[in-house]
Amino acid sequence: MKFIFGIHNHQPLGNFGWVFESAYERAYKPFLETLEEYPNMKVAVHYSGPLLEWIADNRPEHIDLLKSLVRKGQVEIIVAGFYEPVLASIPEEDRVEQINLLKDFARKLGYEAKGLWLTERVWEPELVKTLRKAGIEYVVVDDYHFMSAGLPKESLYWPYYTEDGGETVVVFPIDERLRYLIPFRPVEKTIDYLHSLDDGDESKVAVFHDDGEKFGVWPGTYEWVHEKGWLREFFDRISSDERIEVLLYSEYLGQFRPRGLVYLPIASYFEMSEWSLPAEQARLFVEFVNLLKAEGIFDRYRVFVRGGIWKNFFFKYPEGNYTHKRMLMVSKLVRDNPEARRFLLKAQCNDAYWHGVFGGIYLPHLRRVVWENIIRANSYVSTGTFVRDIDFDGHEEVFIEGENFYYSFKPGLGGSLVELSSKERAVNYADVLARRYEHYHSTGSAVPEEEGDGVESIHELSGEVPEEIRKEVAYDSVRRVLLQDRFLKPETTLDGFRLNRYKPLADFAGKPYWYSLDGNELRLWRNEGDFSVVKVFRPHEKGFTVDYTVSGRGTFAVELNVAVHSVMETQGELEGSRVEVNDRYAVGRFSIELDRKARMWKFPVKTLSKSESGWDFIQQGVSYTFLFPLDGELKFRLSFKER
């Protein structure tokens, strides 16, 4: 039985240095050093660009070892986009440039790469032409892609051609069962499975290619894989078994032709089809899969069980969608500017645009580095002021370029400020993620199970939300942006407001405003019965001012959600005309000022998400809400200043 063994090593741009170092010491280093001891073992290896850059700067001896293993024929380098973008989510020109950057690095390692690791295995048929332009001959996807096209599992032990517009690439299917066996179950189970596939057909091949972090970073795996000797036993037994031939993708294609032609639909791996669904639909998907399993018919009908696609995340998380569309906007603007393009390509790193079993979009430091690179790339060109539906949600943005800031208003979303990006600091003060229900808040995940001894995969980990967190969990009705307006009942409390357990007299947040634009001065207004708001926005060098004219009754509240990530604020009520914050490790120092005294509520905006380490209750930003008693008309000025 032919067997191809591959790993994918990646750390996202912007991840903490100690995370890179820990992953290196626990997974990447011991894996490669162990491989060197088994000269008959061969591995197809993909390292992402951000990880390679860190290793080259901090552990250059690892690069030397990679070169040595390439020379010995033990390692084949598999590329992707350098900054690990989901290729289907970026323009073709950017795809080719990203792939070529990593091919250039592979050449420094002594290898002319022809194979591609498809980031998150997100496949779209149009990628065929891109891959051919970039000199790619074969690509690694999941067996689920083929099953989604209607192919039975027993036909997925061979590569195939796939075609688009007369161009072809070879597609290798990764065996999902191997993904759940390796390295989580005893080596014997993998050996037995590979033996069971041997039917005398010499062209038959089983492919394992998955995260290198499974070999030491995932919970429990360092002890299991390295300290208890799983990896040594695996390399020893696999490479010496007479019934198993370990080879590389390129070696296989040198001996055999692909089996035929397939057309793969838009797909990723099976777990992604669950994660990418809207939360309530994902809950039903899990319920459906578990029902099929309980009836013992899941395996029979699995080829017809499909959930969502990766691009659903842009529907699921409008904040990520806006970020993505701003990146695409800048990509067009800097098409012919080499200096700006390096920043633009960095902004395409995939992790901060979605969320599955890892933190992803819920991790502020990953979003922050994407915004940093969008802003730096944008600063090479002039955008000016314009009105356009930037994020294609059916509502226009009013985009204003000031001397030191980019301002983006959504009149259709409460006349709110959804982007406040500083050119000088390269931060977006409005980068705050709303609190949302995720399906795993009340249910587990639908994943294939592989019973037996060993260590649990993170896909199998479960657990209840701790009570001290659950009582603080709240879900937002609208996005968390700047300059959201509400008319509250006087008896509304801070706790009721922060936990979204209140009913306003009139809620203008998220409702459409009329607007007019005069140069860079923006006037926004809304009327609803006895209630009205007019706000006139003016940019300035250090931020902006807004003049409010309000009519109504009760308490008028204007809320600013600011991307304060490293100052761990507690909720509280203050009184005054100014709040100053020094968010040293994130957006920096700023102040919000009024031309009169007012009450102010502040509280951290915390989301509940799940990651490989368990439950994460993460501060996405801080809400600063100014409160004015109202009986008739009120006028005041609010200013935001970078300090």
Residue 92 tokens, joined: 């073709």
Q: Is residue 293 part of a domain?
A: no
Pair 326, 419: CB distance under 8 Å: yes
CATH number of the domain to which 587 belongs: 2.70.98.10
Do residues 199 and 128 share a domain? Answer: yes
Do residues 53 and 133 share a domain? Answer: yes
Distance CA 206, CA 191 (A): 12
For the chain, what is the domain count?
3
Pair 175, 207: CB distance under 8 Å: yes
Q: Which of 230, 264, 298 is the last residue of a domain?
A: 264
Do residues 31 and 149 share a domain? Answer: yes
Q: Which of 380, 408, 428 is the last residue of a domain?
A: 428
Do residues 407 and 496 share a domain? Answer: no
Residue 315 has a pLDDT of: 97
Question: What three-state secondary structure class fits 103?
Answer: helix
CB half-sphere exposure, 214, CA atoms < 13 A = 24
CATH number of the domain to which 46 belongs: 3.20.110.20
Q: Is residue 288 part of a domain?
A: no
Is residue 585 classed exposed, middle or buried when 0-12, 13-18 and 19+ CB atoms within 10 A define those classes? exposed
Residue 465 has a pLDDT of: 85
DSSP class per residue in 16-53: -HHHHHHHIIIIIHHHHHHHHT-TT--EEEEE-HHHHH
Q: Is residue 367 part of a domain?
A: yes
Is residue 475 classed exposed, middle or buried when 0-12, 13-18 and 19+ CB atoms within 10 A define those classes? middle
Residue 450 has a pLDDT of: 53
> Cα 301 vs. chain centroid, distance in angstroms?
30
Q: Is residue 300 part of a domain?
A: no
Question: What three-state secondary structure class fits 386?
Answer: strand
Do residues 407 and 488 share a domain? Answer: no
DSSP class per residue in 184-241: TS-HHHHHHHHHHH-SS-TT-EEEEEEEGGGGTTSTTHHIIIIIS-HHHHHHHHHHH-
Q: Is residue 340 part of a domain?
A: yes
Q: Look up tokens 């930037």; give the residue.
A: 390
Residue 460 has a pLDDT of: 52
Residue 569 has a pLDDT of: 76
Q: Shortest CA distance to 568 belongs to which of 557, 553, 554, 582? A: 582
Residue 443 has a pLDDT of: 72
Q: Which of 228, 247, 264 is the last residue of a domain?
A: 264
Q: Is residue 501 part of a domain?
A: yes
Cα R_g (the chain), whole angstroms: 27
Do residues 417 and 488 share a domain? Answer: no
Each residue's pLDDT tens digit, 57-67: 999 999 999 99
Do residues 390 and 477 share a domain? Answer: no
Do residues 625 and 541 share a domain? Answer: yes
Catalytic residues, by residue number, are 120, 211
> Cα 354 vs. chain centroid, distance in angstroms?
3
pTM of the model: 0.95
Do residues 421 and 477 share a domain? Answer: no
Counting as low any pLDDT under 50, the low residues of the chain are: none
Residues in the chain: 643
Do residues 143 and 84 share a domain? Answer: yes
Question: What three-state secondary structure class fits 377?
Answer: helix
Q: Is residue 291 part of a domain?
A: no
Q: Is residue 434 part of a domain?
A: no
Is residue 57 classed exposed, middle or buried when 0-12, 13-18 and 19+ CB atoms within 10 A define those classes? exposed
Residue 447 has a pLDDT of: 53
* Domain boundaries, position 382: 311-428
Do residues 410 and 476 share a domain? Answer: no
Do residues 216 and 355 share a domain? Answer: no
